[in-house]
Chains A and B, each alone.
Chain A
Amino acid sequence: MEITAINDAVADVEIGGVKRQVRLDIIDEQPAVGDFVIVHAGFALRRLDREDALETIKLFQEGLNLELI
């Protein structure tokens, strides 16, 4: 869900036109407006890492060179 506004411990979020409020009590990095967060039971859990997602997709598209971590 994308954060559209933040008021102290509560953020307004939106996904596909659906708007909700989520609490920020347990998220480990303070998110900013425009960030995507994973939400569970009304609480934001983690900020999504766009760079990591893009990198994963790029890896796949570049010929599936998966290396063991």
Chain B
Amino acid sequence: MNLFDAFKDPELCRNLLDLLKKEVTEDLRFMEVCGTHTVAIFQSGLRSLLPENIVHLTGPGCPVCVTHESEVAAYLEAAERDGVIIATFGDLMRVPGPKGRTLKDAQAEGARVEVVYSPFDAVALAAKNPDDKVVFLGIGFETTAPTVAATVKIARDEGLQNFSVMSFHKLVPPALEVLLADAGTNIDAFILPGHVSAIIGKAPYEFIAEKYQVPAVITGFEPMDILQALILIGRMRKEGKPAVANEYGRVVADAGNPKALDVMYQVFSPADALWRGIGKIPGSGLVFSEEFQAFDAFKILGLELKESPPLPGCRCGDVLKGKLQPNECPLFAKACTPASPVGPCMVSTEGGCAAYYKYRLDL
């Protein structure tokens, strides 16, 4: 048996679930902010086992879902330039931009778009196509941004002239602060993202408990991890001692991964960023630092983010803020399905709407 299989042992999980029901007797609205947590909670069946007083909210933790309409518009514009090859993670292909247009549509009309597994593959693509400009679409949070930063450094070391990145990277803690400051969200606790935390560590979250008196637990993706986190949250609330705890010690060091952070902050600097459905969040994005300007695709191609209207009818923003459950959106499972998505929360398999649809909780 794999060592980590013990983390989904049904009997241990059943015991934990019983304990959870004893510990949490009041209403608890908890939010996770990580696409992998979203899927884990649905896929394991945990969501359907939680008692009625414990409500799971799926926050802005899916990188595709939070990519703003104007960012989609900007990379679609890049895709149409002569001599440009777009290299992207596959899940961005079907994300709708203005008028519902996607990268897949652009590709069908002749744009050159290559799906890559790693940003590093985009460097190989650039080396193979020296006469073209390879533009990598940098989406993702603190887990992904260091991999893109490391790739940029490799490209520089190899003297590659035709590789650049559109940075749409986003930082998690500033978005949590926006959600906490919004009185309409009613979030009682956070389950913090395991792999983002593996990079940034515990310190950047301390404000959640200190400033807002909301408990928050860093945890892993097995059912037992999530149950354990919820029990910790229940105890903190009962004792009136909200704190930020790290329950994922097998992966997350309290200090995070300083080497990855160092690489990320050599290549990028924090800047304001646009989040789908939320709007501009100060200091929540990453732009190229002075030293690495030569890799900024916005500069190379003369692109900028333009005002872009939200998708009509799509309530993705309210879903991401925990104000609406996916099935409460009028479009859910009617005009909007995974086969024909209206908004990004239905596009990505990690999106709250797509997970809700796939596991058919309301049907």
Seen from chain A, the residues whose Cβ lies within 8 Å of a Cβ on chain B are: 23, 25-28, 38, 40-43, 45-46, 48-50, 52-54, 56-57, 60-61, 64, 66, 68-69
Seen from chain B, the residues whose Cβ lies within 8 Å of a Cβ on chain A are: 3-4, 6-7, 12, 15-16, 19, 89, 117-121, 140, 143-144, 146-147, 150, 153-154, 195, 198-199, 224, 228, 231-232, 235-236, 239, 241, 243, 245-247, 249-253, 257-260, 263
Chain B hits for A50, CB < 8 A: 3, 250
Query: How distant is the Cα of A53 from the Cα of B222 in the complex, in angstroms?
Result: 12
Determine whether the beta carbon of B232 is less than 8 Å from that of A66: yes
Determine whether the beta carbon of A26 is less than 8 Å from that of B150: yes
Query: How distant is the Cα of A54 from the Cα of B89 in the complex, in angstroms?
Result: 34
Determine whether the beta carbon of B6 is less than 8 Å from that of A45: no
Assess A45 versus B195: contact at CB under 8 Å? Given A64-B16, A68-B239.
Answer: yes
Main SS of the interface on chain B? helix
Selected A-B contacts with CB under 8 Å, 8 pairs: A28-B259, A41-B144, A45-B195, A45-B198, A48-B250, A48-B251, A53-B7, A69-B245
Determine whether the beta carbon of B259 is less than 8 Å from that of A41: no
Determine whether the beta carbon of B198 is less than 8 Å from that of A60: no
Kindly provide the distance from the CB of B205 to the nearest chain A CB, expressed in whole angstroms. 13
Query: How distant is the Cα of A25 from the Cα of B121 in the complex, in angstroms?
Result: 15
**Neighbour of A46 across the interface among B3, B153, B251, CB < 8 A:** B251
Determine whether the beta carbon of B239 is less than 8 Å from that of A69: no
Extra inter-chain contacts (10) besides given A23-B120, A28-B258, CB under 8 Å? A25-B154, A26-B150, A27-B257, A28-B259, A40-B143, A41-B117, A41-B119, A42-B121, A57-B6, A60-B15
Chain B hits for A56, CB < 8 A: 7, 249-250
Kindly provide the distance from the CB of A2 to the nearest chain B CB, expressed in whole angstroms. 10
Assess A26 versus B251: contact at CB under 8 Å? Given A43-B146, A68-B232.
Answer: no
Determine whether the beta carbon of B147 is less than 8 Å from that of A49: no
Chain A hits for B12, CB < 8 A: 60-61
Kindly provide the distance from the CB of B31 to the nearest chain A CB, expressed in whole angstroms. 20
